C-alpha cells in the first residue's frame, strides 16, 4: 500500500519536526494507519527486540513526504538524493518514532548510506525538505512507494506554517 497521494486532504498536521537550524523543519501528518511496515518481518523483529510498540506514525514532510507507516527502512532514498534531503532519524535522535513529531533533531544524521540504519525501526526522515531539487530519484528508488514528491503540495506546507499551533 503506497503513500496516500491525497494525504494533505485526508490527514491533518499533528506535529512539526524541527531542526537545530530554524531554516529547516517539516510538518507531520496524521493519524496514519498500519501499512507495509507492520507486515514486514525485519521491521516487526526490530520492534520486538527494542520492546517498542508498532503503532501508526503518519507522513513526514509535505512536499517531500515519507509515509513512515509504509517505510520499511530500505534506505535507497537516503543514498540516492543528490542534495542530502534525508537522514536516518535514529542516527540523529534515537527515540521511538511516535515521539518524533513536535520534537527537534540536530540534523546531524551521520550515515547517508543505504545500510546506515540503526535497525529496521529506523525511518528515512526528510530533515532538509526545502533543499529538494525535484529530481524524483528517491521516488523511483523506493521499493514500497512510501515517498511522494510534489511541488503542488507546497501550498499545503505554507498554509500549515500559518495555521498550525503546537
Using the Cα atoms of residue 67, residue 99, residue 85 and residue 47 in order, give the sign of their dihedral: negative
- Residue 21 carries which DSSP code? S
Q: How far is the CB of 24 from ligand SF4 (least distance, A)?
A: 13
Kindly state the smallest distance separating residue 125's Cβ from ligand SF4, in Å. Answer: 11
Task: Please say which residue, 95 or 136, places its beta carbon nearer to ligand SF4.
Answer: 136
Cell matching residue 40: 514486514
CB of residue 41 to ligand SF4, shortest distance in Å: 27
Nearer to ligand SF4, 54 or 147 (CB): 147
> How far is Cα 73 from Cα 69, in angstroms, rounded to an integer?
11
Shortest Å distance, C-beta 40 to ligand SF4: 22
Q: In whole angstroms, how close is the CB of 147 to ligand SF4 at the nearest point? A: 7
Which is nearer to ligand SF4, 46 or 64 (by Cβ)?
Answer: 64
* Residues found near ligand SF4 in the complex (CB under 6 A): 64, 80-83, 85, 132-138, 149
124-125 and 59-60 beta bridge pairing: unpaired
Q: Which C-beta is closer to ligand SF4: that of 83 or that of 95?
A: 83
Of 47 and 124, which CB lies nearer to ligand SF4 in the complex structure?
124
CA–CA separation, 55 and 148 (whole Å) = 21
Q: How far apart are CA 21 and CA 104, in angstroms?
A: 10
Q: State the Cα–Cα distance between residues 87 and 112, nearest whole angstrom.
A: 6
How many C-beta neighbours within 10 Å does residue 145 have?
15
What sign has the CA pseudo-torsion 113, 116, 121, 124? negative
Amino acid at each position: 500500500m503506497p503513500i496516500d497521494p491525497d494525504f494533505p486532504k485526508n490527514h491533518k498536521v499533528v506535529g512539526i519536526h524541527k531542526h537545530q537550524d530554524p531554516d529547516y523543519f517539516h510538518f507531520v501528518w496524521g493519524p496514519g494507519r498500519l501499512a507495509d511496515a507492520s507486515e514486514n518481518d525485519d521491521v516487526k523483529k526490530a520492534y520486538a527486540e527494542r520492546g517498542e510498540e508498532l503503532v501508526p506514525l503518519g507522513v513526514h514532510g509535505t512536499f517531500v513526504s515519507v509515509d513512515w507507516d509504509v517505510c520499511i527502512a530500505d534506505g535507497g532514498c537516503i543514498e540516492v538524493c543528490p542534495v542530502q534531503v534525508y537522514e536516518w532519524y535514529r542516527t540523529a535522535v534515537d527515540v521511538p518514532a511516535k515521539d518524533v513529531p513536535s520534537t527537534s533533531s540536530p540534523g546531524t544524521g551521520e550515515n547517508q548510506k543505504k545500510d546506515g540504519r540503526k535497525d529496521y525501526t529506523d525511518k528515512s526522515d526528510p530533515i532538509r525538505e526545502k533543499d529538494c531539487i525535484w529530481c524524483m530519484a528517491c521516488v523511483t528508488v523506493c521499493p514500497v512507494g512510501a515517498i511522494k514528491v510534489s511541488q503542488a503540495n507546497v501550498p499545503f506546507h505554507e498554509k500549515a506554517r500559518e495555521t498550525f499551533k503546537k
